[in-house]
Amino acid sequence: MSSTFDTVANIIAETCDIPRDTIKPESHAIEDLGIDSLDFLDIAFAIDKAFGIKLPLEQWTQEVNDGKATTEQYFVLQNLCTRIDGLVAAKGA
């Protein structure tokens, strides 16, 4: 069974046509991989489907806009994967 990171990295590679080997846990989806907000909707859709969750993108965006969080907290892939794991665990609780 592949890890959360592997699943997310494969989704990003396929959705955005980014070479898989350039996608690292420490990659920032926006700043390092150049993924824009529209492409990220495709990624969010694929992640939602793959994990049976609903990424709270609006809440995250609001927190970043309000200065309550940084984009690194949500869009560095290892942090994103931690949050996905949390949402999956919460769903099963």
Q: Which of 6, 34, 41, 78 binds other proteins (CB under 8 A)?
A: 41
Q: How many CA atoms lie within 13 A of 35 on its CB side?
A: 28
Q: Are 87 and 53 in contact (CB under 8 A)?
A: yes
CA dihedral 91, 35, 8, 27 (to 10 degrees): -110
Least distance CB 5 / other proteins (angstroms)? 21
Q: Which of 55, 76, 80, 87 binds other proteins (CB under 8 A)?
A: 55
Least distance CB 4 / other proteins (angstroms)? 18
Binding characters for other proteins, 61-80, by CB under 8 A (x = yes):
x-------------------
Least distance CB 44 / other proteins (angstroms)? 6
Q: Are 56 and 39 in contact (CB under 8 A)?
A: no
Q: How far apart are CA 43 and CA 23, in angstroms?
A: 14
Which stretches of the chain bind other proteins, using CB under 8 A? Answer: 38, 41-42, 44-45, 48-49, 54-59, 61
